[in-house]
Chain A
Amino acid sequence: MKGMSAIVKSITNITIGFIFLYGVYIILHGHLTPGGGFAGGVIIAGVFVLKVLAFGVDKSAEKKSSTIASIFESIGGLLFVGVALLGLIVMGTFFLNFLPKGEPFRLLSAGIIPLCNIAIGIKVGAGLFSIFLALAAVKYIMED
């Protein structure tokens, strides 16, 4: 698909880094402030959607992007289930919170909750970007 005008491209160049940083902040502080894995993941998907809409994408770049997105989605899902199974192996209960709790209101606290937030953020972000690419950027021909 084609890109947009030069004004949109230059503004996108400036703001993409800030929006990505904001999404990572919302994922990492999910156990202290409102937000969490789902909100941050959708924001990160929005960053990639903005890049595709502003700059356009041709056939080879689109194929590469969708392959990388599906790899990342699988990594996110496997990380989430892996953390749950690790609780089963280490202590005997599925999804047990086995990491030390730490002091409240610090960034490294609350056991497995930050790890689960990161895994869900990666999974939701990559999955929604795959949906957008399949609907908007794929060129296909119907032969019946």
Chain B
Amino acid sequence: MIIFVSCILLFLIGLYAIVIKRNLIKIAIGFALIEYAVNLLFALVGFKRGALAPIITQIDTPHHFVDPIPQALVLTAIVIALGTTALMLTVILRIYNQYKTFDIAKIKKLTG
């Protein structure tokens, strides 16, 4: 239970970085922390104490494995997180080249 709650705490730290911080790079770091927290929570749900990794090494031995389905879902989610973080950083780079600052308060003031 403590282990699941620490994933929720990581999610809340990322949400704090998105809502309160004023630097655009810190906001992007917050998004990455949120994605890490959700992937970790999914992967921890499928754990069984005393079980082995889901790779079959010999036929006709009793199979006592961890749940392979949450691992399959998280595998693609990790690579998708990289794609969305890269796209977000591209937009941030273009904003910097236009306004020469990372501060969102100053960006709201400069219009046109």
Interchain CB contact under 8 A, B79 and A124: yes
Q: Name the segment of B12-20, B36-44, B82-90 touching the other chain.
A: B82-90
Q: A131-B86, A134-B90, A135-B90 are in contact. Are A38 and B79 (CB under 8 A)?
A: yes
Total contacting residues, chain A, CB less than 8 A: 13
Q: A124-B79, A135-B86 are in contact. Are A33 and B97 (CB under 8 A)?
A: no
Tell me if B55 is interfacial: C-beta within 8 Å of chain A: yes
Cα-based distance from A133 to B85 in the complex (angstroms) = 15
Q: Mark A97-115, 1 if CB is under 8 A from B, else 0.
A: 0000000100000000000
Q: Residues of A with Cβ closer than 8 Å to B?
A: 33-34, 36, 38, 42, 104, 124, 128, 131, 134-135, 142, 144
Q: A131-B86, A135-B93, A144-B98 are in contact. List 15 more A-B contacts (CB 8 A).
A: A33-B55, A34-B53, A34-B55, A36-B75, A38-B75, A38-B76, A38-B78, A38-B79, A104-B59, A124-B79, A128-B82, A131-B83, A135-B89, A135-B90, A142-B98
